[in-house]
Each structure stands twice: as structure tokens, then as C-alpha cells.
Amino acid sequence: MKNERSDLFSRRLFLRGAAGVALFSTTSCDRVEDFLGMGLKIGPCVPPTGEGVDLISHVINRVSFGPTPSDYARVKGLGDSEEAAVAAYLEEQLNPEKIADYRAQRAARRFEALSAPLGEMYEYKEEFLLEQLTGATLVRATRSERQLFEVMTHFWTDHFNIDSSKEDCKWLKAADDREVIRQHALGNFSELVRASALSPAMLWYLDGRENRKRKSEEKPNENYARELLELHTLGVKGGYTQEDVMEVARCLSGWTVRGKKKFFKGKVEFDAGSHDDGAKRVLGHEIAAGGGEKDLEAVLDIVCNHPSTARYLAEKLCVRFIADEPSADSIDEVAQAFTASGGDIRKTLRGVFATREFLKGTRGGKLKRPFELIVSALRVTRAEVKSEMDLLDYLVRMGHAPFQYPTPDGYPDIASPWTGTLLWRWHFAVALARNDISKKIVVDEAKLTEEAGGIEGLAASLLGRVATAGELQSVERAGEPLAMILASPGFQWR
């Protein structure tokens, strides 16, 4: 966009005036761009030297959207041994509030519609809000130093999936992202579920707003109740019955969202007249008649503290961080951490990172989903991205556009559903390396190669290990090292 250029220019002038010429007279052009949030942190590139993926590369790949060229050396420097360095890195990432993140925050400020109060969201064109949300998501995943926080944001976005193309979710998903997902991504699970249950976007997406019982013959709408049990808490094999689904729906009847033609549209409210106020029985617990809006708290208390919920969440976290088919031992350990901490997400994650399987299990055994592939490529190439939307086409073609998964279960987190995406992974690799995506996405292959100490170093920086003889031979023959490495099998896994 033209105005982006002029915006940058005017900000430069402004900064020059405000901060003084001296600041800039001693810094290179790169530093200015860096200061303005245009590129990733520039540190020395010291590629890994192991023949296999070492612990440091492994952990960076699993808890982030992939390393920048300087991450490996930085993390390695956090401790005297690989184990100590990794422990320090994990602790750092588990405390995002202590990580300064001005660059990403400044870059995300471009998407100012996302900070509008709920009611004002309706004033924007729906496609504009989805664009802003998608852009901000790409910016944060690519540039934030709080990588684990962003990874968990993605995890919960899938867990509490809302397809923004459904009716009022077009406007309300932006608020859900801000006030539910990001607000509680590393908080407490029960609070996260509660925020989601009362999120106007979720009430639209799973029809909770239509769940009412005003007359005896009226049947509550079960849609949200079912997904709350099946997808958000206990899991499909969690031991609930159809009776439980119906009883949960009765408990939640009356919660609704103000409609389009009213003041405060989008506001969530409880309509006592639409609530089924009789006695209920949920998963063996009696809920007395007359509970009114407190029935919601009772239900959430029951489902969030159910042992199946601990196990279901533990399994999903293990699938995200460990393997497509994690061992029962790992799941048990993580479920214990979840239960012992009362659903504290950080403590549960510590449980994941403490499993033997996470630390010693298969490395590079998780296929990067398309979003992860694209972001990891942008990070490791220090791509200068001035228009995130130019990447959307690739995400759509690979079936992984954020906030566009059609059903409540969220994008799958295992490899097999994604094998049809190779053609567009290759297209993306070639286009990125050749600077063919658009004029607003720029990679400097010569500079990257030089910083990595040559093509072998570049390969190691991208693959998290020294390239094999076969890989190096192909890289040489193809004549386009960066495109070849990005498109190779080794770069598709994390």
C-alpha cells in the first residue's frame, strides 16, 4: 500500500525530530528498520553443528514457530550445558510478561481495529476485521519474542475454534481472540472455558444465544452444550451421555447476545425468563432448582474438574508438543500436572516439558502445518514483510487460513490431513526465495548465506542440524540453495 510507505517515511521524520539526529547518525539503515519494527532482531548467526537435531534446536522448534538465525546461539548461551540452556529458555518462554516485546507490539499496532471496544466492531466491514485479525496473527507469530505464548494462542484458537464466516462471528471473533484466547492463553483453564462460554462470538458460533426455554414444550438448543463436553472439556470418549448433554444445555439456557437492531449489540446477557430453572443432574452431580444464572458456574465447575478433562487436555498438549501419537505415560504425567495445579496452564506445560518423551523422544517428528511452515520460513530467513495479506493466498491454498476452519473441532494437529499441501509448500519456498511473492515480502539470500558462513551454514541454520551429503548434493545441483532447503523434506518437520 502506498500510504504504508509514506507512513514509514513520516514516522522516520518524526523520530528523527523527537529522538534527535544523534541516535540515527550512528546506526545503520538496518537498525532504523529494526527500531521501527520492520525486521527481526539481528544477532549473530551461529548455525548448529550436530549431525542430528540437538536438544537446543529441538526445543526451539517445538515451543516456538521456529528459530530466527540468531536464536540457536542465543539459547545456547543461556546455560552451561544443553540441558541448562533449554531449561532457562523454557522458563523464559513460560513467563512472557517478563519478555520485552516492543517490536512485535509496535508492528501489531497497525491493526488498530482489533483494539476497538466490542460494540464498535460492528462498525467495520466484516472482511476488514478478518484481514486485521489474520494480519496481526501473522505479525505476532513471526515477530514476537513471546513465542510460546503465541504458540499457545494458536493451540487455544483451534481448541475453541470459531469460524469467523458464520453470521455475527465476522465481527465478534476479533473480540474473542483478544478477550478469551489471548487473555487466558497461559492462565487458568477454568477461567479460559468460562470466558469462552460467555464470549459473544462463541454464543453465536455454537448457537448458545438460541438456547432458551420459555415454555414447557420448548427444547433447549444443545449445540454448545455438546461441543463444550465433546471438544472443550471431557473429550468425545470422556464418559458423558446424551442425557448429560441435554442437562448441560438446560443449565446454560437463557444466556444470549443482544441482536443487531438493539443498543449494546454484541453484549452478552442472561435472560431469566428464557432459563430452565428446574433441578438438573450433570455427570452425576445434582444441581438444585432455582440456580438461575449460577447454573453456568456449577456446570463449568463440574466439567473443568472432571478427570476426563485433565486427560483430554493432556493428550492434546502432548500431540502439539511431543508426537502425533504420544505415549500413555506422557499423557498421564501431564494430566497429573493439570489436576495438581487446578488447571494452571503454565504448570501443565511444565509437565509437558518435563516428560522424558519431550526431551528424549523423536526429534523432527511433527509435521509443520502450513501456517507453521510459512511463519518458520519467514523467521529463519529474516524476511521483511510489509504486507502480511500477500501470504494469505498460500494459507488458503493449503487449507490453513486462520479463523476459517469450518467445524468446531479446529484444524487438525497431526500430519496425515496435511499431506496434500506439498505442491503449495514448494510454490511458497520457491516464491519466497526468489522474492516472487510480492514486492512487499523481501528475503536477502546472499546476506543470509554470508552470515551463516556459506551454503552449509545456511542449510544448518534452516534444518537445525548439519545437512546430509544427499541434501547438500541436491542443494548444489538445484542451483537455488534457499529455495531448495525450504522446499526439502527436512524443513517440513519440527
> Which residues of the chain form contacts with another protein (CB under 8 A)?
163-167, 169, 205, 367, 393, 396-399, 404-407, 415-417, 419-424, 426-427, 430-431, 434, 436, 470-471, 474-475, 477-480, 483-484, 487-489, 492-493
Distance CA 97, CA 95 (A): 6
Q: How far is the CB of 489 from another protein (least distance, A)?
A: 5
Q: How far is the CB of 155 from another protein (least distance, A)?
A: 20
Would you tell me how many other CB atoms lie within 10 Å of the CB of residue 340? 13
Beta strands at 441-442 and 384-385: parallel, antiparallel or unpaired: antiparallel
Q: How far is the CB of 207 from another protein (least distance, A)?
A: 9
Q: How far is the CB of 130 from another protein (least distance, A)?
A: 12
Comparing CB distances to another protein, the nearer of 52 and 77 is 52
Amino acid occupying residue 23: L
C-alpha cell at 258: 443482544
Residues 6+ apart with CB under 8 A from 111: 132, 133, 135, 136, 139
Comparing CB distances to another protein, the nearer of 155 and 205 is 205
Q: How far is the CB of 1 from another protein (least distance, A)?
A: 19
Comparing CB distances to another protein, the nearer of 175 and 463 is 463
**C-beta separation of 144 from 65 below 8 A:** no
C-alpha cell at 197: 462460554
Q: How far is the CB of 135 from another protein (least distance, A)?
A: 18
Comparing CB distances to another protein, the nearer of 43 and 399 is 399
Comparing CB distances to another protein, the nearer of 328 and 423 is 423
Comparing CB distances to another protein, the nearer of 126 and 269 is 126
C-alpha cell at 449: 548465506
Q: How far is the CB of 76 from another protein (least distance, A)?
A: 28
Comparing CB distances to another protein, the nearer of 186 and 319 is 319
What distance lies between CA 9 and its chain's CA centroid? Answer: 32
Distance CA 471, CA 489 (A): 10
Lookup result for grid cell 541516535: 23
User: Side-chain half-sphere of 172: how many Cα atoms within 13 Å?
Assistant: 25
Would you tell me how many other CB atoms lie within 10 Å of the CB of residue 437? 22
Q: How far is the CB of 414 from another protein (least distance, A)?
A: 10
Distance CA 275, CA 298 (A): 15
Q: Where are the alpha helices (DSSP H) in 198-327?
A: 200-205, 223-227, 242-252, 294-304, 307-321
Q: Please report how the helices 82-94 and 345-354 are oriented relative to each other, as an axis angle in degrees rounded to 10.
A: 160
Q: How far is the CB of 426 from another protein (least distance, A)?
A: 6
Residues 6+ apart with CB under 8 A from 453: 45, 47
Report the sign of the C-alpha dihedral through residues 485, 487, 492, 494, in that order.
positive
Q: What is the DSSP string of 437-480?
A: S-TTEE--HHHHHHHTTSHHHHHHHHHSSPPPHHHHHHHHHHS-
Comparing CB distances to another protein, the nearer of 63 and 484 is 484
Angle, vertex CA 79, rays to CA 73 and CA 84, nearest 5: 120
**C-beta separation of 159 from 414 below 8 A:** no
Strand partners, 285: 282
Comparing CB distances to another protein, the nearer of 167 and 277 is 167
Q: How far is the CB of 30 from another protein (least distance, A)?
A: 28
Residues 6+ apart with CB under 8 A from 387: 1, 4, 438, 440, 441
Comparing CB distances to another protein, the nearer of 127 and 329 is 127
Comparing CB distances to another protein, the nearer of 29 and 469 is 469
Q: How far is the CB of 389 from another protein (least distance, A)?
A: 13
Comparing CB distances to another protein, the nearer of 328 and 422 is 422
Q: How far is the CB of 121 from another protein (least distance, A)?
A: 18
**C-beta separation of 402 from 133 below 8 A:** yes
